[in-house]
Every structure is written in structure tokens, then in C-alpha cells.
A and B are shown apart, each in its own frame.
Chain A
Amino acid sequence: MSGHSNWPEWIYVGVVIALMVWVGAEAWEAERLVEHVPADAKIIKVTGQQWFWTFEHEDGTKEIGELHVETGKAYKFEIESKDVNHSFNIHDYVILMDAIPGRVNTVWFAPTDVGEHDIQCREYCGLIHYNMRGTLYVEEPSS
């Protein structure tokens, strides 16, 4: 048509496709590993509501705005909402899962080091969305 050969474009498109296949495959593999919940994970019920987080441990103890966990254990969050959509986020541990009324979403983590981390809401939920925050305390196992 315009008289020049098109092979540079074919090579380029080939390289782009190869890159996308590679990104996709890596992502698939990583996500598959991340989603594998250990069988002994302790369950923590997380409830989002305008504009705070409530946590309920397996033994029935409740915390508001604060969450205490221990190193060396795996925890599975069961996330719900009482009103509108929120998103439960512990950025340091790449924990992010929406809290949606009428549904229970799950995500898990296993903290390794003692420390404090921010908990926040990452889905717009109205007036005080900006301050729907909390703190995660990772502590040494007690016994």
C-alpha cells in the first residue's frame, strides 16, 4: 500500500504480546499462591460501618478501631458491612477487600514481625470516609 515493508511493526506487536503473556502468567501464578488460605487460619470477623471498623475474634472478644494479632499465626478476615460499601485495607500487608452489605468477603494474612500498622477504608463511604482509620498491633504470641 504505502510501499514500505511492515516487519518492524510485526516484531513490535510480537514483543508486546509476549510481554503481556509474561505479565499475565506471573500474575496468575502469584495470585494463585496468595489466595491459598492455610487450614489453621484463625477467623476474625471484620464489620465496616459508617465510619469505623469492628473486629470479632474467634473467642468472642470484640475490638473497635484496634486489632491485636500475634506473630507466627495465620488469620482469615471475614469482611461484612452494616450500611454502605467500604474497603478493608492494611496497606503494609497488601490486605484489601471490599466490605459489602449482604456479602461476606474473605482475605487472609500471616504477620511475621512485631509492630504497628495503619488500617484504613479505601472505598468511598461518605462524610468521614477520610477518617475511617484504625491500628493493627502485631504482638509476640502470649503463651
Chain B
Amino acid sequence: MVLELQKPRPIWQIMFSTHHTDVGLLYLITSVAFLFMGGALALAIRAELFLPGAQIIGDAMTFNRIFTVHGTTLIFLFIIPFASAVGNYFVPIMVRYKDMAYPKLNAIAFWMIPPAGALIWLGFADFTWYATPPYSIISAPGPAADMWIFGLKILGISSVLGAINFIVTILKCKHPDMSIGQVPLLAWSFLSSSLIIIVAIPTFAAALLMLLTDRLGVSGFFNPAMGGDPIAYAHLFWFTFHPEVYVLVIPAIGMMYEIIPRFSRKPIYSYNSGIFAFVLLSIVGFSSWAHHMYATGMSFTEKTVFMIGTLAAVPASAMHVFNFIATMWNARIKFSTPMMWAVGGIALFFSAGAGGVANAAMPLDFSTHDTYWVVGHFHLFVMGTIAFGSIGYLYYMFPYVTGRMYNETMGKVHFVMSFIGTVLVFFTQHVLGLYGMPRRIFDYPPIPEWIAMNQIVTVGAMIIGVSMAIFLINMIYSSGKGKLANTEDPFGVGGKYYYPFEAKNPSH
């Protein structure tokens, strides 16, 4: 059984372990810690924007550093490591293998994260999460900028190592009796996202090195003063990071594929369509990167090509939504906390996709690009879909990890408050964008509509903040003092759990 906390062990035993559940636990704790650190920065941003004029953050430079580190932290130090935590716990069990394919490599991939996190947080760079040249070359203050570059470099390597491990574990180490068509959808989600990582990351890895040498003044790849082209960086960056958004979202969808059927007490409506949509998204996801660049002066033809590429990826996302709804249709659903998060996440996933289609339609993008609309759009994914799926899954795996139950009422309060907060914050931001408020601004002119909407957004953010405090208390208290879980069926939904009993941690 995967009981990490019931039998206390000295911390160094977990830290130096290479067993997949121990590495999973390290990923889990690290990623949740970064969730809270990044979230705290978000609350600071929102407090600052509650009114025009300087509020709690003294100057623009500090503000710019805060939103840069906020975004970098939540994408690279929360979402990705959290997915690795879930993958570490569940993928080996789901393919019926004793561990990850390369346990030492697995531990190494994890241990690259804390130093990278330290570089990012101790540097506190200001050039936004995309470090666009020439600003990042000629204007961004060092050593923060250089530390960020090294941090991201390390995270990229860690991601690639983790992806190799998942791919080999799933394709080569699965039980011989099991065909690839029997691997659960959660494991399929890791296979798809890992394949995307392998293809997408090297481009950005190269761009980061070029950025670094440009900063050192020994090259001028992206520096127009030396004959370079900043647009080239934008292409390299988005060639990695549009596919990367699917790397972020696919595991969260995989987690929902565990939760939704379990609490609907039904098998998934169509397993094959789930696989098909994952694979399709992993391929078509590579055809749309320059939809982030319509306003850089691309030709009409280029814009048209990337608009078509973007719209072509929509049916694959839409198929997941259908699959979830069809599974829940006429089902005896039990709305325990994990299920509430998953269902809420799907609703927000749908709204986010609809907004994405508006961005993709090229004339509309000139209204939305680099306004708060875009901030609202992608947060409905990163917060509304991915964080919701992940938090739901954290509740779901809690009894297996700790052997105890969390407090159900607090879990539900956490969900309801977060859902209301998320709707208030990110739907309002869409409208704010249509009213023209640019993103990444420390201060704004006192336009009455802007003030009103910023206040709604800040109130929503504070509601999420309070709910996260409830979450933290619930997790800490329940992991030590919660009532013992019935690990045969912790949520009382009946049916058979094919895991996690089969995971044998040698240290237990």
C-alpha cells in the first residue's frame, strides 16, 4: 500500500530514495509549496491593482518582477512538477511495473527542480515569462535575468529526462499481458504529453542559450543592433510553448479521466475517443504556434495559416468535453470533493476553449492580444482547468498517500469558494480586456469601468486566497490527525480499485 505518512520515516530516507512513490511524494510537496508561493505573489498583484496609484507595491520594477516570477513559478514549478508527482505515483502501477524505468534518472530529474526554483526566486527577473528580446538582451537587469535563464535551462532538462522516463516506462516496461490499448487514459495522457515535450523543448533550449550569449554580447542572434532578429526568438519560443500548453493541460485531463468515471460509477463513455483526442492534440498542437504573433507584422497568408492550424486543434479538445459529459449522463454520480473539482474544471475548460477560438480568429485578436482578455483566457486553463483537475486529484490521492481522510466539508467549501473566485476573476478579466486594459501594467489611468472591474477581480482573488488557506489547513491537519481511511474504497463509491494496493514501497 502507498502509505507515506502513516509510518513515519526519517526525512533523508525519502530524500535519497529512488522509489517512484518517494520521488512522487517529493514532487508533490515541492509543487504544492510552489503553488502557495506563486499564489501569494498573485494576491500581491491583485492588491496593487485594486485602485489606480501605487498601493502596496512601491515601484513598477518590483511589480514587474512579481508578475514574472508568479507566472514562471506556477507554470514550471507547480503545474509541471505536480503532474510528475501524479505520474510517478500512478503510471508504474497502471502499467504494472515495479518502478519507473530508470529510477535514478527519475530522482535526478526531481532534484534539478529545487536549484532551478532557487535561481528563479533569488534572481527575481522582470522580463515576463517569455523573456522577449531585445528587452531581455539590452534592458533587463542582471544577474536576475541570467539566473532566470539558467533556471529555465535546468527545468527544461529535468522535463526532458522525466519525459524519457515516462515514455520508456509506458512503452517498454508495461506488463507483457497488457496491450497499449489497455493502458488507462491517465497513463496515456503522460505518454502524449511526454512525446510533446521531447519534440518541443529542444527549440526553446537552443533559444535560451542564444539569449544568454546575446546577453553576454558575444553573439547577436536576436539583437537588431547586431543584425539579429527578435521575431526569430518569438518563433522559437512559441514553437515550444504553444505545444507546451498541451503538455500542461493533457495530464490534468488524464486526471479527470480517473475521477469522472470513478464517481459516476460507470466506465468512461469512450476509451478510444480519449486516446484518439490525446494523440491528435499532440500532433495538431504543433501547427498553431504563431497565433501568439499576429500583431508582430505577419503577412495575411501567415496569419491565415496559423489561424487554420489553431482552429484545427479545437475538435480534439472538444472531444474530451463530450466524453466527460457522456460519461456523467444518467449516472449515479457521487459528488465528493474530487468530483466537484473535476466537474468544475470541465465547465471552465469549455469556457476557456470558447475564448481561445475568439483569440484565434485573426481580426478579433487585435482587440484581445496583450490585454487582460488573454490573461483571462489562459488562466481559465491554467487555474480553471489544470489547477482544478490537479487539486481534485490531490484530494483523490490523499487517502492513498496518507492513509487518512481529509475533511470533506472543508474540501467542499474550498471548491465552492475557489469556483466562485475563479469565475469572478477570469471572466471579468475577459471583459476588462475588451475595454482595452493592457496586461503587465503596474498602474492604470482612473477610467471608471477599469476601476470597477479591477475591484471585482481583486475581490475574487481574495476569495480564492482564503479558500487556499482552508485547503492548506485541511491538508496539514488531516495528514496527521484525519480519520483513518478505508483504503479499499475511501470514497464509498463501490467498484474495484486496481491500485494502489499493488505498489510496494520497500521501505514500508
Give residues in A with beta carbon < 8 Å to B. 1-2, 4, 6, 8-9, 12-13, 16-17, 20-21, 23-24, 26-28, 30-32, 34-35, 50, 83-85, 87, 89, 91-92, 94-98, 100-103, 105-106, 118, 120-131, 133
Contacts and interface: CB of A to CB of B under 8 A. Distances in A.
B300 A13 contact: no
B296 A6 contact: no
A130 B444 contact: yes
A97 B366 CA distance: 8
Contact of B230 (A30, A32, A85, A118): A85
Given A2-B271, A9-B322, A83-B134, A98 B436 contact: no
Interface in B151-177: none
B229 A102 contact: yes
Contacts of B367: 91, 94, 96
Contacts of B444: 130
B307 A27 contact: yes
28 contacts: A8-B326, A13-B319, A20-B312, A20-B357, A27-B364, A31-B362, A35-B300, A50-B139, A84-B135, A91-B367, A92-B436, A94-B363, A96-B366, A96-B369, A101-B134, A101-B224, A102-B230, A103-B231, A103-B297, A124-B127, A124-B440, A126-B126, A127-B64, A129-B60, A129-B440, A130-B440, A130-B443, A130-B444
Contacts of A121: 438
B363 A24 contact: no
Given A16-B314, A17-B315, A130-B442, A123 B297 contact: no
Where chain B touches its partner, the secondary structure class is helix
A95 to B, nearest CB: 8
The 6 lowest CB-CB distance pairs between A and B, nearest first, are A91-B436, A102-B224, A105-B297, A130-B441, A27-B361, A84-B135
B468 interface: no
Given A2-B267, A85-B135, A100 B364 contact: no
Interface of B: 60-61, 64, 126-128, 132, 134-135, 138-140, 224-225, 229-231, 267, 269-273, 295-297, 300, 303-304, 307-308, 311-312, 314-315, 318-319, 322-323, 326, 357, 360-364, 366-367, 369-371, 435-436, 438-445
A9 B325 CA distance: 11
Contacts of A34: 363
Q: Kindly name the residue among A8, A13, A16 whose own CB sees the greatest number of chain B CB atoms within 10 A.
A: A16
Contacts of A30: 363
Nearest to A35: B300
Contacts of B439: 124
